[in-house]
Amino acid sequence: MPVRTAFPRICIALGLPDSERLLEQARREAGQGERFLEFRLDYLPSPEEGIAVIREFLRLYPDATVLATCRRHQNHGRFNGSIEEELRILAAAIEAGARAVDVEIESAENALTKLELLGDAQLIVSYHNFEGTPALEPVMRRMLKIPAAAYKIVTTARKPSDNLKVLSLLKAHARTPLVLLAMSETGFPSRVLSTVLGGAFTYAAPSSAEGTAAGQVSARTLRHLYRIEKPWKACKVFGVVADPVRHSISPAVHNRALQARRIAALYLPFLVGPLQLKDFFVLADRLPLQGFSVTIPHKQRIIRYLDALDSLSRRIGAVNTVWRKAGKWRGTNTDIDGVRVPLEKRIRLSKKSVLVAGNG
């Protein structure tokens, strides 16, 4: 097995149904400066068509790193051939210039003696679970039986603490190159934090096409908003808790503010369903999260999970800001001051009625 080498931090996942579009999209990404791309050969009607695409792309961009994948339909891919055919296609991709290949654990286990066909390419052994996030230590032990340059574990987050299950592998296997993430909007924090906390790399959607998995966002978002390529020495984590949360502009506002003030911190969106607050605090306690904003539908319900509450929030019966101090979760409500302070610069509010009009 070849010596392990470091991968770029962001891999653009390209899954397109014809070779011309695949090459066009790959060139577009490379033209925008991306140099690490996954070619999902199984998306093509004939995966062999992708070999010529890889060769032509690397002729145009010889400094790029191509990761070739030809996932079988038994493992939620689109290739209907045998394991032997899968490895043959990946070997051809390597001959065309691909520096790395992704082989799912099921194929790798059943073709241990044939993995040598992959030569000097970096082998990434992958595990996917599209139903949920099981206990992952048994999965990790299973994967480590196969020598590889990196190990990729992708699950589906059904609840907030599933992010924790995935991310906890980074500490338990600190010396092992890992690619870890949980699919779905609930699992989005894992896509950012896995690299921040020491993961090998993460996946991004192409700039003008759909991604290959639920929860993928653009490389621009990962790079500029969440700064996942920054060499963090220590990083505090904040966020917004809501359902829905995708529409929230809070991550854009707060991450820009943190950057402007040069604070080593990230602000993430946490999708937390109405009945998932207790589970969210499992994640918050162990992440560890420093504090978070709270919005619909949790402003009232969250009070039961807090250790301390100021008198104003108690009178209002709702909280929109939570932080941790001395190991305790404390809550307050800044909505009142957000309205009162600006208005008091213009008018006297004593004995006045105020109407707040908005859409949020």
pLDDT at 360: 57
pLDDT at 324: 96
3-state helix, strand, coil in the chain (%, to 5): 40, 20, 40
Q: How far apart are CA 78 and CA 8, in angstroms?
A: 26
Average pLDDT over residues 207-236: 87
Read off the pLDDT of residues 235-276 as tens digits, 9 standing for 90 and up. 999 999 999 999 999 999 999 999 999 999 999 999 999 999
Predicted TM-score (pTM) of the model is 0.92
Secondary structure E strands in the chain:
10-14, 36-40, 65-69, 100-104, 122-128, 150-156, 178-183, 202-204, 236-242, 265-271, 291-294, 308-309, 321-325, 328-332
Average pLDDT for the chain: 94
Cα distances from 309 to residues 5, 320, 329, in angstroms, run 50, 11, 9
CB atoms within 10 A of CB 324: 16
pLDDT at 207: 86
Using alpha carbons only, give the angle 334, 335, 339 rounded to the nearest 5 degrees.
Answer: 115
Q: How far apart are CA 102 and CA 70, in angstroms?
A: 8
* Percent of the chain scoring above 70 in pLDDT: 98
